[in-house]
Structure 1
């Protein structure tokens, strides 16, 4: 049977949790600021910057930069979640890291514009990832802390919407400045800080008075591990996100794809990436919000995730053989529909199968490794795949991986079936 949530003790006289009408815009603002700051460089600014300083070796340099950055994210996200869980600052467990993470992130992005060597970009991008993951871990933990189970699908869909709108808003704003200029980085940093500050003002984050567990080496190492035999549903949720996000990680190569396959130069490619992104985001917006609330209404999550894996795989097959820009736009529409369907239920599904809701920050941070790891593995394998078969080999390989993600969903219990065991279900067990 499902478990009742156990609230952590809070300081006497402390403010209550955020009213739902304020919580949703606050969470969306924080997620929007995070995505503007982190994904806009991945989809546009890093490619332009590396093209200017690395020339013909830009794609290899991009893989090195994003690969190292993703490894840092892999390390820092679970640690950030653990630190957030045990924070007892007056500002709150989550608001403290939304604020400090966004400020550190913005300062590092501004410094990025002054880099002139690839190794400098690597160092600063690693710092960007470290700061961003403190904010990201806090954002996700807020859902487990303050959203009732019956409303998590809708909130998950709205978070997915913010995750898709953020990069497009960032690209649109960055394109108001000259391509490759430092003003592009400054604009992105300013938007990220502004959105996060508004979120902190709107949020209420009761200060916990629960005893802090020791933060020794054993505790830190345990942050990176959960027992998949004791918590199989959590393990399948992790694998599902990892496989589907590997397919979605192909978007980081869209700028290079357009420049190399269709011959666009750096002055034109920004506008095309923005146009493709807008089309995809419109699909994500419609699908994520509608599917999130529909998931709550029908009390089903798995069909939406299965459709997502199939749609992402089909979109990547279309990209592999796209003869012109029209086909790229059609593939982006399908990718947006799949991404929206997945984002609508993914966070709600992961929160539902948490091993221990009292350590939501740490456990969701482990799930977030499934976001970070594809950002490292895809750039690592991309040069080999591109050398073997160009962009068709790259996209087709990721299509197969995304399709496997649709298969992995089958092993996760559906809403209301958490206690069942069987060939195709893995029961939820909690610490």
Structure 2
């Protein structure tokens, strides 16, 4: 169990180094160098929006392919390693982009590669982690997600040359993926008749691939409500990708100063998330309760966004960041365990978890899509307050999901299981 937990934590850490360091810092700086300060926000929205859209497509496909992989390395280890190494190579390629369209293409490739690593890693929570340990393991993964960007910011801050900044996070991401693969035990999946030894990916028709993007919420209502919870709350903390632009716009921070301030702004919630996520996960497992943590985490996150959006000093913005750390840590530590509990099909864990991951990636397109309108209507105050409203609605939606031990109670949405292979999902 220790090797498994360490492998999952390292894989998640590397993935977040690779994705959140650019999203929260490097991409904004890249857009500033290409477009200038005035055009950076719009260009960043285009890059983040396309990246989120590609992630929306890539995540469920990656999960389905991982579920159907029969390689000797294992169906999860194969894609943790391949996704991590290929994604690292794409990060290096992105550092050479000099036009917005080049950044868009390269970033979409980065997102696609790490989708495979992420799909394989999250599937392990259902594959190998006992139900009574999922809260605490989810807490550690939440902490890893918080620590990853800080590691990225720290190593990036040691270099002033932009291409070196991209290179060091690529090396870090590749290293974490390799070590995670070495630690993980993942026996090869038993091959169905007709699948050759070493084959990666059972043949999938167009219909089967199309089903990678869909689980019928009418047939699986608890799954549908859990997806809504994750999507709406994630829209709230997707605002963090605008932190650099927020600092430059509201407080006049220069591009030269923003790297150090972004590190400070990220370190504060990381400390809080690290404590909150692990503690909440442990308490959740002991109490066998999940809903109160998800509800409170979403509401605290909403309050933090209001604090940040109305802040008139960097100090208040830092306070909002700290409060957000409490909410995000509490939410992330339990939400993964809750999602695993409502999965409809043990045979398609990777694919089904990837549909949940769509609720993580879709806000990366949706928030940049609505951001220009919100910024035009009321600046960053309207932006943050609106996203706080999303988080509140998402937190309240968890009330429709049954608590542990209440799965058959008709007062809540039913947790249903998928029919046999070939049935409607």
TM-score scaled to structure 2, two decimals? Answer: 0.95
Deviations 1:324-354 (A, max 9, x none): 0110111011100000000110111100110
The aligned counterpart of 1:380 is 369
In the other structure, the counterpart of 1:82 is 64
In structure 1, the residue matched to 2:281 is 292
2:360 is matched with which residue?
A: 371
Identify which of 175, 191, 204 aligns with 2:157: 175
> 1:255 and 2:244 equivalent?
yes
Distance in 2 (alpha carbons) for counterparts of 1:120 and 1:366: 28
Matches within 5 A, 1:2-401: 20-55=1-36, 56-178=38-160, 181-211=162-192, 214-401=203-390
Q: Distance in 2 between matches of 1:358 and 1:163?
A: 27
Name structure 1 gaps, 5 residues minimum.
1-19
Deviations, residues 72-96 of structure 1 (Å, cap 9, x unaligned): 0000100000000000000000000
**Structure 1 residue matching 2:69: 3-state secondary structure:** coil
Secondary structure in 1 matching 2:16: helix
The corresponding residue for 1:8 is none
- Structure 1 residue 267 displacement after superposition: 1.1
Q: Distance in 2 between matches of 1:148 and 1:320?
A: 40
* Structure-2 residue corresponding to 1:12: none
Deviation at 1:214, TM superposition (A): 4.1
Instruction: For 1:347 and 1:391, locate their aligned partners in 2 and report how far apart those are by CA, in whole Å.
Output: 30
Shift of 1:57: 0.8
* Structure 1 residue 219: Cα displacement: 0.2
Among 407, 417, 423, the residue aligned to 1:430: 417
408, 419, 422: which one aligns with 2:397: 408
Deviation at 1:181, TM superposition (A): 1.3
Aligned residues: 409
In structure 2, C-alpha distance between the alignment counterparts of 1:216 and 1:389, rounded to whole Å? 48
Partner Cα separation in structure 2 for residue 122 and residue 196 of structure 1: 24
Whole-Å separation in 2 of the counterparts to 1:224 and 1:401: 23
What is the root-mean-square deviation of aligned Cα atoms in Å? 0.8
**Which residues of structure 2 form unaligned runs of 5+?**
196-201, 419-425
Q: Distance in 2 between matches of 1:353 and 1:31?
A: 22
Deviation at 1:237, TM superposition (A): 0.6
TM (normalized to structure 1)?
Answer: 0.94
Q: Secondary structure at the match of 2:97?
A: coil
Per-residue displacement from partner, 1:293-339 (whole Å, max 9, x unpaired)?
10000000000000111111101111111010110111011100000
Equivalent-residue separation in structure 1 for 2:310 and 2:67 (angstroms): 46
- 4+ runs deviating over 6 angstroms: none
- Please report how far the alpha carbon of residue 42 of structure 1 lies from its aligned counterpart in structure 2 after TM superposition: 0.1
Q: Secondary structure at the match of 1:223?
A: helix
Structure-2 residue corresponding to 1:9: none
Distance in 2, Cα, partners of 1:88 & 1:105: 22
Q: CA deviation at 1:46?
A: 0.2
